[in-house]
Structure 1
């Protein structure tokens, strides 16, 4: 049985559509035994401090309480077989709560190292990772009218620590309300089910075709 880590970065907390969708699918998926659920949008992690920076560069850094929060996040990530991130698109990029988590888990000589060429090398094992991105407007397809800096950034930063099996699922156009939201949630659900079927065991999926515009 797989262990899933579900992180929600929405300020709407458990009322967020992407989170509700992910939580429901993971709860019902037969090959997932445990789901660790963290509401980091409503209860964000602390920003990095001078004490943290000192601990990271110190030989005795692990004895410094300033690094303990970072260690807890990394250990929780290490113990997961599947990672699901639910996040809104804020001002073309990731929300502050998500950046705080990234700053805690991307740590030199712990989650990444540096080779002789000066390149960052991930130290964590790769795992299937699904990123559910909610946006009021459109960032993909013919209706896209705004840039998306979240997707390329997450690809780069998660690859830095060793996570490369990324599937992005987009819930777009929520400002249109009503049927547009329902269609977006349905398409995202199909995309998540299809992705899980290919990475975390097999199961029958109702509706054979997921919305291609929801995957990247």
Structure 2
């Protein structure tokens, strides 16, 4: 049975374009893979803590200081389990201040763990999360592709693609809606184009 990991990180709730696109990507994948199981992670509604000195102390062999930390460590471990369980990973990644939301960065920090999702070998780091398909729903107010003068400010798609590849996730398709803040017509066109890309996806 196919397992789909559905991750959202936008703080905009029902107004979020990236959430709209991830929902449509997941629905499309369910249509292509009947009976697929979905693991849902909303990083705004149920976020893990950001890394702290208390986390690092435990990682170095120290004791778990309190139940809240213990529960949070379990959540971080579950994020990694999600990755290995999934065949298809769908990530909603809006651009906030030229990069990914802090909620999604928190997830990245919890899944990039030496010895679990990557290791250092004789030729450098090696990703251990392999053989999976990733779809990234990218939403951004400006235009950062092509000859755009703002292209050099894209630390959203470039960063996320690099960190996913670092842990072995290299089969990445980006479904992008950009120019969303330029005007209603531009927004409608960008969303329609992204939805058309989703509809055209094949198994």
TM interval, short-chain normalised: 0.7 to 0.9
Pick one of 121, 125, 130 that aligns with 2:126.
121
TM-score after normalising by structure 1: 0.80
Question: Match for residue 24 of structure 2?
Answer: 24
Is the counterpart of residue 149 in structure 1 residue 155 in structure 2?
yes
Matches within 5 A, 1:26-175: 26-28=26-28, 29-30=30-31, 31-32=33-34, 33-58=36-61, 65=70, 67-117=73-123, 119-143=124-148, 145-146=150-151, 147-175=153-181
Kindly state the Cα deviation for residue 102 of structure 1 after the two structures are TM-superposed.
0.2
SS at the partner of 1:159? helix
CA–CA distance in structure 2, aligned partners of residues 100 and 80 of structure 1: 20
Say whether the 8 Å CA contact 2:21–2:137 is kept in structure 1: no
Aligned partners of 1:13 and 1:41 also within 8 Å:
no
Point out which structure has higher relative CO (alpha carbons under 8 A, 6+ apart): 2
Unaligned runs of 5+ in 2: none
CA RMSD of aligned residues (A): 2.3
Distance in 1 (CA, whole Å) between partners of 2:131 and 2:102 is 25
Distance 1:82 1:102, change over 3 A: same
How many residues are treated as equivalent by the alignment? 194
Q: Unmatched 5+ residue regions in structure 1?
A: 202-216
Are the equivalent residues in 1 in contact too, given 2:120–2:126 (CA < 8 A)? Answer: yes
